[in-house]
Amino acid sequence: MISKFPNQTSRRSMIRSLASASMLLPGMLHEMMAEPTADPQNPLAPKAPMFPAKAKRVIFLYMSGGVSHVDTFDPKPKLTADHHKRFKKDFLHASPWTSKAYASCGTEVSELFPHVGACMDDICLIRSMYNDIPNHPQAILQVHGGSTLQPRPSIGSWVSYGLGTVSQDLPSYLVLAPEIPYAGSAAWDSSFLPAFHQGVRVIPGQEAIPNMTRQGYADIQEMDLGMVDFLNKRHLEQHDADRSLATRIKTFETAYGMQKEAPEVFDISKESDATLELYGLQRGTKQGIGWMCLMARRLAERGVRFVEVIDGGYDKYTNWDAHLNIRMHEPLAKKADRPIAGLLKDLKSRGMLEDTLVVWTTEFGRKPGDASPDEEGRTHWSTAYSSWMAGGGVKGGIVYGSTDEYGYTIASNPVHIHDLQATILNQLGLDHTKLTFRHAGRDYRLTDVSGHVIKDILT
């Protein structure tokens, strides 16, 4: 490698010159001069699944705020026909949007999602989802970490813990989130799992990850970090019971790797016009859900094990929390529909959809009726809502489960959030009952003490 300035030296030559001046201990010199070898203790090294896996990675599309099922993926003609009629204690409220059958499978989807609707042949639509609490923070914690009571490791952290990652220069779990959701960073926290399994947040914009660009010259930085790494590991040997030290060391290593790898990953200038068009992106754009979906594909193909895209945050005007007016769904759907469909098409054209599991979900649905006949919004409804999956060994072109004629209750094949989580882990070759971590005197797992794999939707 040619130096960028005349007196720049390589890491090895610098160490030799320092050693000759008696500035380094002999033991340190020996260790740093040795040829690099694979680290058998690397906690993020790729691990074999528990059984043959259909998926190698997950792209988790989370719509923050609670998407109304009856206005999107579970249209109800009877609800439209009985608009403003009394049903129990409610006045029924029709959807403002029509729906139609899409793709060759004929799955009915709202006009809000025409591009995703066209992809229904590759999608397994689950219309019978439910969870335990219709409040944003608790529901978001359960969707991500399995518990409504307290923050626990996010699903991405569990996947990182169970499988490691192919890319050692990028985190195993990346979260693309322009805004913070209701539950805050707890949505991607590793909790009691080692901190290097925590999701790394990427904020779309000019500088997606702060301090990603190297300062100074690479050779000198490498030498400095090599010396720090040696001292860190020497210190760790004297405190091998302190897991936080090992975690911190691995975090430093990942941060250094990101400075090498991330600039190229987040540079989409070489993507073709056709690809940008697929995601609805204009050249030069560095934000928006289109950018996030494209970035999810780029990260997935570079070995990142779990990529989450969060659409919407705490601001009620930019998320799917349609308390004020259900028509707030329309601009959000218009922004999200094409990029999400573009992601599916892009993955499929590259042969990646077969081993990439794409999951679309929200924390709960929206109530089909209200005590007031004049209400324009919809309140929280965790009793029934919709999610969908594509790729990664999941059957496409099918609908699993159903709700009643108005969308209030589940009529067939109920799917608890723990069942969805168990199925995601299953497709990665992980048994959700055996993927455990000892903490505070007992074994914890993502699905708590429940959850069943939805076998009927698997190929």
Please give the pLDDT value at position 21.
35
DSSP H or E stretch at residue 253: helix 243-265
Instruction: Determine the Cα–Cα distance for residues 176 and 387; give it in Å rounded to an integer.
Output: 20
Q: Which tokens go with 349?
A: 């054209």
Tokens representing 454? 């939805």
Q: pLDDT at position 36, please?
A: 36
Instruction: For residues 48 and 45, give the distance between their C-alpha atoms in angstroms, rounded to a whole number.
Output: 10
- In terms of Cα–Cα distance, which of 178, 227, 306 is closest to 23? 227
Q: What's the CA gap between 449 and 410, in Å, rounded? A: 22
Give the three-class secondary structure for 241.
coil
pLDDT in tens, 93-115: 999 999 999 999 999 999 999 99
Residue 377 buriedness (CB in 10 A; 0-12 / 13-18 / 19+): middle
Nearest of 236, 149, 232 to residue 191 by alpha carbon:
149
> How far, in Å, CA of 113 to CA of 337, rounded?
5
Q: What angle do CA 338, 387, 159 make, to 5 degrees?
A: 95
Cα dihedral 180, 358, 364, 333 in deg (nearest 10): 70
Quick: pLDDT tens for 109-150.
999 999 999 999 999 999 999 999 999 999 999 999 999 999
User: pLDDT below 70 — which residues of the chain?
Assistant: 1-41, 206-229, 232-233, 235-260, 316-317
Per-residue confidence (pLDDT) for residue 137, from 0 to 100: 95
Measured on CA atoms in the order 83, 86, 91, 92, is the torsion positive or negative?
negative
Under 8 Å between Cβ of 252 and 196: no
Query: How many residues in total does the chain contain?
Result: 459
Q: What pLDDT is stored for residue 43 in this prediction? A: 84
Residue 322 is given by DSSP the state: -
Which residue, chain included where needed, has tokens 């007016």? Answer: 325
Cα–Cα distance measured from residue 56 to residue 73, given in angstroms and rounded to the nearest whole number: 27
Rg (CA), the chain: 24
Q: Which residue shows structure tokens 């693309």?
A: 176
Domains within the chain, CATH numbers bracketed? 57-209+266-457 (3.40.720.10)
Measure the N-to-C terminal CA separation of the chain; round to a whole number of Å: 50
| Residue 443 phi, psi (nearest 5) | -85, 130
Closest CA to 427 of 459, 401, 397, 451: 459
3-state class percentages of the chain: helix first, strand second, coil last, to nearest 5:
35, 15, 45
CA distance 155 to 429: 14
